Amino acid sequence: MSQLSDVYRSRIHDLMSASPLIPVITIENPDDAFPLCKALVAGGIRILEITLRTEHGLGAIAQLRETLPEVWVGAGTVTNVQQYRAVEQAGAQFVVTPGVTEAILQHGLGSDVPLVPGIATASELMLGYAMGYRDFKFFPAEVAGGIPALKALAGPFPDVQFCPTGGIRRETARQYLDLDNVLAVGGSWLTPREAVRQRDWPLISGVARDSLAELGR
């Protein structure tokens, strides 16, 4: 079985260390992509995860790479190799998946675009670990056991770091980030749906700024 190189592994680690908060962004209206993400960046966010949950995700990734070159732009909700290839083409700088398949993990080994695989169990983690992955998304964080689960995983896997996502709120982000094996947390609370609908970009910047300030960042 091929293995993830040390260089590749350190790139994933750098990326997950770039910002303690990773907004999980779903673009309902393509005109929103730039102003919404610019508002997040104005609030201090340095990494953007654009999901493929809508048909606008791919186009938004390409657009944001051009217009916001100062931040990391990646793809979320990648569930198969075909989508992985499509986001590579669109210019994504990282890929996040909600779960793992052997095919996706294998593709990540050979791709220039680093993969943060999603796991919810020790068995899924071990599949990625055997290939050299050491940084994972923990999804769906709250219902998969939350903070106690992450503490338990630190026992058998002391060299693994996580980005928990799914059910994390502004009020609970800090408790997750206080764990030694958590580098960053992801969530959609940074892009409140109603504020996006109303195109209230100052409010979005404010939520990002306040959320980071509460973490002392």
Residue 49 a catalytic site member: yes
Confirm or reject binding of residue 51 to ligand ELE (CB under 6 A).
yes
Residue 135 gets which letter from DSSP? E
- CB of residue 24 vs ligand ELE: minimum separation in angstroms? 4
> Mask 108-127, x = binds ligand ELE (CB under 6 A)?
----------x---------
Confirm or reject binding of residue 24 to ligand ELE (CB under 6 A).
yes
Confirm or reject binding of residue 188 to ligand ELE (CB under 6 A).
yes
Directed axis angle between helix 170-177 and helix 201-214, to 10°? 40
Confirm or reject binding of residue 166 to ligand ELE (CB under 6 A).
yes
Confirm or reject binding of residue 139 to ligand ELE (CB under 6 A).
yes
Burial category of 178 from C-beta neighbours within 10 Å (exposed 0-12, middle 13-18, buried 19 and up): exposed
Residue 137 a catalytic site member: yes
Q: How many CB atoms lie within 10 A of CB 170?
A: 15
In the complex with ligand ELE, which residue's Cβ is closer, 169 or 217? 169
d(CA 151, CA 84): 31
Which contiguous run of DSSP H or E holds residue 111? none
Confirm or reject binding of residue 77 to ligand ELE (CB under 6 A).
yes
Residue from 14, 38, 7, 65 nearest 183 by CA: 14
- CB of residue 26 vs ligand ELE: minimum separation in angstroms? 8
Confirm or reject binding of residue 186 to ligand ELE (CB under 6 A).
yes
